Structure 1
Amino acid sequence: PHGEIHVQKRDRDTLEDLSGVTFQLTAKEDIYSLDGRNTLLYKKDEAVSMDISENGYYVTNELGEIHISGLPLGKYELKEVQELEGYVKNNKVYDIDLSYDHTDKIIYSKELDILNKKTATEISKVDATNEKELEGAKLSLRDEEGNVVEEWTSTKDVHIIRGLVSGKKYILHEDLAPLGYATASDVTFTVNEDGSVTKVKMKDEITKVDISKVDATTGKEIEGAKLTLKDKETGEVVESWTSGKEPHRIEGLTVSKTYVLHEDLAPAGYNVASDVEFTISDTGEVQKVVMKDEAKPVVVKTGDDSNISFYVAMGMFALGLIVCFYAKRKYGEKNDK
């Protein structure tokens, strides 16, 4: 009598046959011949090679199968020693008992249907503040050599990639951030080797601009200015507000776009400032924009206006009396003649 082992290797999710997976067969105990001579054939833990196998290694064929026949009866161990790239390593050791049971059976067989799962990597593109998934980011995944593995656009759901190589490093790159957000730095990660899901998170900072309306001389914030921010290209009003004691913050302006800050009405005592143009930089840091107002010149008074008017009036009255006096005097002299 002799033993046979049949292995079928498949993908756990698709049931696709997996070729090229390497297993090793070893003796779990000392195995002796049953021909009456009791010859030691294999020592415990010794590799068992049949046919063209060397050092007990067997590789699944194009149908995902391994056939081992002609084995002496006894107990064996079979383990996977080289998985396919992208699959989780299978560390299970399979005990195979082909021991003689004192029957007239000629063939002792063992069949194994072994399923392997691909690695799973969850990639999240989130808002740095609330950590909610962000839509519209164009992302790409590259290996260490710079080869593009996959490209996609983020949605409200986590993006799952299956089949990345365990223990290998990958680089997550943001090719284009969603509108109103700064481009995130690359994220480098290594795929888990223990079969657990690899979780990767890339955070995007929303753009932030602090707009200050200040006194041109003192540099202090001025209250009461009515301001408007417009998109330079379209002329569309982004926001209108009245300045206060603190800078006015606007979030979510588009990177690389130019905006125009316009003063609709200056505070009392100030001249209206010229428009200020600025372009949003690709950064999550707070960007600062300053509009300066010049104070109107102060008119210095040299006296009381009411007194000046009084003296002018009195002078005019006196001049009138003088004119009347001379006119009357000339009229009298004419009559005497």
Structure 2
Amino acid sequence: MFGLFNINETEFTEETAILTSESNEEGIFTFENVPYGEYIIRELKPAEGYLPNEENYTVTISENKEIIEITIENDKIPELGTTATIDGKKEVGATEVFTLEDVVEYKHLVPGKEYTVKGVLMDKATGKELLIDGKKITSEATFIPDEPTGEVIVSFEFDARYINEETNIVVFESLYSEDKELAVHADLEDVGQNVTVKIPKIGTKASIDGKKEFTVNGDITIDDVVSYKHLTAGKEYTIKGVLMDKSTGKQFLVDGKEVCSEVTFTPETADGEVTVSFTFDGSVITKETEIVVFEAFYREGTEIAVHADIEDEGQNVTIHPQPEPEKPQTGDNSNLGFYIGLGSVAVGGLIAFLIIKFKKKDEDDE
């Protein structure tokens, strides 16, 4: 629909138009029997699937039966589609400062014209903007297409270590030209716009020589097999552990010091396991002791996962002290007769020996 307006008109609506006309199937519209004068022709409603044309076309009618031709062009409404990934993946662990790349595919743009794609990261669960350390994550890319159809990449950097629960991130994008919004792609349910950030998880199984119970016989080494999930392959991590006394809920101490250990490693896959060993002098165990291993994962000094459950049997080992050697029993008369008899035989032998000696001497004297 188009309107014919007075040259001084500033508000362009059907109500303020002198005449209106709709284009036919061939896109032709006409105004007839227009009095002499200067006018403005302005589009009021674009055809379906096209952007509005807000340009004013000035015409002057100065002769009888004069025919003036004008051509008004409308651009098609651009179409957007997006595919979001992090390092080419749709799932990552909350361990790094990541760069999310959203490949924005477009259609129906005007070659040689400047456009800007503006995006924001959304939390699918809440339907609101994703906040990292209290701030929303936005990005934009300005480009000039060579063809009506193509793609452009919009990148978003964010620190996933601030995310403390599994989160589905959705990328919303809008296309602008000359500060006017032309198209939007904002669908929370669109899998292409979605990536998932998973929280790293760890589990531990502690043992001594493969046993859950052990009796002291020197130095003790507790091996804790730490299983992990949702790490980032190829990145360096550190596991730090400490031994806890289950009976007190406090650190297990040897000579007044905590028993700690740590291992730095680089996983080849997101899921796997690593062993952390704790060695200490077993002589400090003087009574049955239950020891629990607490472990924490770190990435570049930031704690990203903890396993510290004092009741977890997997983290628990029981250590028994070395039994004391048996001592002779006192106050027991059961063998008294045996010892008295043995003593009597010994004394009798001594007397007999003396008598024989005396007799032999007498014989020699004679």
- The two structures share one fold, judged by TM-score above 0.5: no
Q: Normalized against structure 1, the TM-score is what?
A: 0.41
Q: Normalized against structure 2, the TM-score is what?
A: 0.38
